[in-house]
Amino acid sequence: MKRALITGINGQDGFYLADLLLGKGYEVFGIGRSDPRSLFDRVTMIKADVNDFDSLRVVIRDIRPDEVYNLASQSHVNLSFEQPLLTARTAGMGAVNVFESVRLERPQARVFQASSSAMYGNCVDEDGFQRETTGMEPASPYASAKLFAHNIARNYRSAYHLFISNGILFNHESPLRGTNFVTSKICHEAVRIKYGVTDRLDLGNTEARRDWGHAKDYVRAMWMILQHHEPDDFVCATGTAHSVGEVVEFVFARLELDPEKYLNIDSALLRPEDRQISTGDSAKRKEATGWQAEYTFDTMLDEMIYHWLAELPAAIPVRLPEFYH
């Protein structure tokens, strides 16, 4: 039985990844807050912190994982402007603590580092895509911390011959996504509007375009990357970008609402610096692992809408298409 350690297991990626690994017969250990969801009855939760090197080294020494997935991070871009020190410690130095603990205690382990498309900023290749070789100009403290961790992962891989792969994750969503992230916020608030709980959706930059995929597809990609015969850097993306405004239009159309009646552009929600477009090319990863997405942009949003319709009680019939589960 393989052993896997997941840092940041309480986020949406940690939850779906743990579920995937348990289904493959892994013994799963998690670092994070305790969680009431029933999945974690089957996960051994560890008291440790990626910001505490000593505790992390003891964990790696004691459980001797075959695979380590470093998902721990302060991952909200807006919050990183408000809390840059916390973001740098968790997303940046936290990764160093993971790599150094593995180097000292379990150098044969395979490590997945969750990098971010935010590292590119507005850098794109001539055809408009972002690849493993595209330049990077991070536009937030979060992106800067992630780029530091990304480069340190490459350094440890080269200098110490460790199996550390960077997955450059483009935006990925699910019903587990917090409502402080824009796609979940839109779905949540649109359902509340449908149910008469509120009458306004406040957003910032609706022109920003992102490459959105489903978290279930991306955690499957994480696992496939660590099964590859050699460590490397891999873009995880769908290859198609949509604007925030398109998300609004899709969700409100599903709920038979007119967005113009409810959408409010709030300048206070604009970031000090923002990316305008983000579209990834996953050709390298698809060739290496055979990965294909199971969700589309539409089915991802449909599942999120359905989640909030079920979560927010009301007896209002809403016609929805059949969902992926």
Q: How far is CA 234 from the centre of its chain?
A: 14
**Which pLDDT value is given to residue 127?**
94
Quote the pLDDT of residue 36: 44
In-domain check, residue 123: yes
The reported pLDDT for the residue numbered 180 is 87
> What is the per-residue pLDDT for 293?
92
CATH number of the domain that residue 35 is part of: 3.40.50.720
> Does 293 fall in a domain?
no
The per-residue DSSP string of 168-189 comes to EEPPEE-TTS-TTSHHHHHHHH
| In a domain? residue 138 | yes
φ, ψ of residue 79 in degrees (nearest 5)? -65, -30
Q: At what angle do helices 297-311 and 182-194 cross, to 10 degrees?
A: 50
Measured CA to CA, the distance from residue 77 to residue 139 in angstroms comes to 9
> How many residues would you count in the chain?
325
Tens digits of residue pLDDT in 180-225:
899 999 999 999 999 888 999 999 888 889 999 999 999 999 999 9
CA distances from 75 to 62, 100, 118, 263, 303 (A): 28, 22, 10, 26, 22
Residue 247 lies in a domain: no
Global pTM reads 0.91
Number of domains the chain contains? 1
Domain that holds residue 166: 3-173+212-236
Q: State the pLDDT at residue 241.
A: 94
**Run of H or E residues at 201:** strand 201-203
With b for 16 or more beta-carbon neighbours within 10 A and e for fewer, the 107-126 pattern comes to: eebbbbbbbbbbbbbeebee
pLDDT score, position 86: 85
In a domain, 243, yes or no: no
pLDDT for the residue 178: 87
Residue at 69 is within a domain: yes
- The whole-number pLDDT of residue 81 equals 76
Contact 313, 181 (CB under 8 A): no
Q: How far apart are CA 303 and CA 162, in angstroms?
A: 38
- What pLDDT shows up at residue 324? 30
At residue 35, the pLDDT reads 57
**Domain membership flag for residue 252:** no
The predicted structure's pLDDT at residue 265: 86
pLDDT tens series, the chain, 325 aa = 899 999 999 889 999 999 999 999 999 999 986 554 556 678 999 989 999 999 999 999 999 999 999 998 766 666 667 788 888 899 999 999 999 999 999 999 999 999 999 999 989 999 999 999 999 999 888 999 999 999 999 999 999 999 999 999 999 999 999 888 999 999 999 999 998 889 999 998 888 899 999 999 999 999 999 999 999 999 999 999 999 999 999 999 999 999 999 999 876 766 565 666 789 999 999 999 999 999 999 999 999 999 998 887 655 555 554 543 3
Q: How far apart are CA 99 and CA 161, in angstroms?
A: 12
Distance CA 131, CA 58 (A): 36
Report pLDDT for 296: 96
The span from the CA of 75 to the CA of 141, in Å, is: 10
The answer as to whether 288 is a domain residue is no
User: Residue with structure tokens 């603990």?
Assistant: 101
Print the SS3 string covering 97-142. HHHHHHHHHCCCCEEEEEEEHHHHCCCCCCCCCECCCCCCCCCCHH
Which two tokens mark 13?
């990626």
